[in-house]
Amino acid sequence: MNAVKTLTKSGVMLVALLTMLLLPALAQENPKLSDPEVAHVAVVANQIDIGYAEIALKKSKNQDILKFAETMTNDHTAVIGQASDLAKKLGVTPMENAVSKQLLADAEKTKKELRSKSRKDFDKAYIDNEVAYHKAVIAAVKNLLIPETENAELKALLEKVLPALETHLEHAEMVQKKI
Amino acid sequence: MRERALRIVRTGIVLFLGLIFYVGCSSSTENKKEERKPAPKVHTVEIKQMKFVPAELHVNKGDTVLFINNDLVAHDVTEEPNGSWTSSALQASESWALQVTQSADYYCSLHIVMKGKIIVD
Ligand SMILES: [Cu+2]
């Protein structure tokens, strides 16, 4: 019962997040995000998942969860490294914006929820959130970030990151089935 | 007495010639076998976009497979299901060579949905 409630809740949150991310973009013909803003959203989205993994590495005892969280930490750190290198090369300073602020605010709430879970409920809550979060980020990269990016190299990097996000999602779904 | 000695010598020569013939024959069949067996080859499996490319590779026993990580993130190459060999983590642009002794399934233990196969023909 509890699980159903959590799932429904994360489903609702996912739809809300996507609507929030996509509506302003769809409402305007001109790009809503500049490249420095796209870069900031990309970096923040990766940092958020590292933040979730940090909590999992502290709270979980499950080997599948721990290995997944370690991969999330390493992969998202690698992507941030690539994004920072590219930003430097292009002379772009990532710029805070409404989308990245909203992502951070939502993540703070989710992290608080995850930290408050008992050890027994944590694994399921963490992996459910990973599935929902990766779905939301994949949609945002495909439908918002890539279309709004002007610079070809930044666009290429975002396209290169997609297969990693999709693999993370499949991996999370596999772990989710076992929990 | 002399005839007996002669016979022994003759037998010796026949045996000796026989031996030469035998050795000659067997070494020539050995040469043929070596000619038929191709020299060990080096194959390449590229890791890119979260995939082993090619995911299925046919090799001969004794060949080497070089795994090159051309992806954004670290990967490994680990025998499945026993983990009897592993490359350990390969960072971006690192590579690892495997000498093939038998067919094997493998996966990336960091991204468990990434899988590949080596088939010894
Ligand atoms: Cu991998």
pLDDT score for A138:
97
Exposure class string for A62-99: b at 16+ Cβ within 10 A, else e: bebbeebbebbbbbbbbbbebbeebbeeeebebeebeb
Strand duo B115-120 + B95-99: pairing: unpaired
pLDDT score for B39:
87
Q: What is the CA radius of gyration of chain A?
A: 16
Task: Please spell the DSSP secondary structure of A107-144, one letter per residue.
Answer: HHHHHHHHHHS-HHHHHHHHHHHHHHHHHHHHHHIIII
Give chain B positions within 8 Å (CB) of A70: 110
pLDDT score for A10:
52
Q: What angle do CA A128, A130, A135 make, to 5 degrees?
A: 100
- B107: its two tokens: 């996966």
pLDDT digits (tens, 9 = 90+) for B46-96: 999 999 999 999 999 999 999 999 999 999 999 999 999 999 999 999 999
CA dist B110 and A68 (Å) reads 8
pLDDT score for A17:
56
Statement: residue B24 has pLDDT above 50: no
- Closest Cα of chain B to A176: distance in Å? 13
Statement: residue A24 has pLDDT above 60: no
CA dist A23 and A169 (Å) reads 24
State the average pLDDT over residues B13-36.
49
pLDDT digits (tens, 9 = 90+) for A39-66: 999 999 999 999 999 999 999 999 999 9
State the pLDDT confidence band at B107, using cuts at 50, 70 and 90: very high
Q: Which residue is closest to A158 within chain B, CA to CA?
A: B72
pLDDT score for B10:
58
Statement: residue B29 has pLDDT above 60: no
ipTM here: 0.81
- Closest Cα of chain B to A21: distance in Å? 26
In the block, which residue shows the tokens 């979980």? A60
* Chain A CB within 8 Å of residue B74 CB: yes
Strand duo B115-120 + B56-59: pairing: parallel
pTM score, whole prediction: 0.79
Residue spans of the domains in chain A: they are: 2-7+35-178
- Please tell me the CATH code under which domain A2-7+35-178 is placed: 1.20.1260.10
Could A74 and B110 be called an inter-chain contact, meaning their C-beta atoms sit closer than 8 Å? yes
pLDDT score for B38:
76
- What percentage of chain A has pLDDT greater than the value 90? 81
CA dist A17 and A106 (Å) reads 9
Rounded to 10 degrees, what is the CA torsion of A61, A62, A65, A71? 70
CA dist B121 and B109 (Å) reads 26
pLDDT score for A27:
41
Could B50 and A163 be called an inter-chain contact, meaning their C-beta atoms sit closer than 8 Å? yes
Point out which residues pair with B119 in neighbouring strands. B58
State the average pLDDT over residues A115-137.
96
- A174: its two tokens: 């596999």
Q: Provide the 10 A C-beta neighbour count for residue A153.
A: 12
Distance B74 CA to ligand 1 centre (A): 6
Give chain A positions within 8 Å (CB) of B110: 67, 70-71, 74
- Closest Cα of chain A to B34: distance in Å? 45
Q: Average per-residue pLDDT in chain A?
A: 88
pLDDT digits (tens, 9 = 90+) for A70-107: 999 999 999 999 999 999 999 999 999 999 999 999 99
CA dist A125 and A110 (Å) reads 10
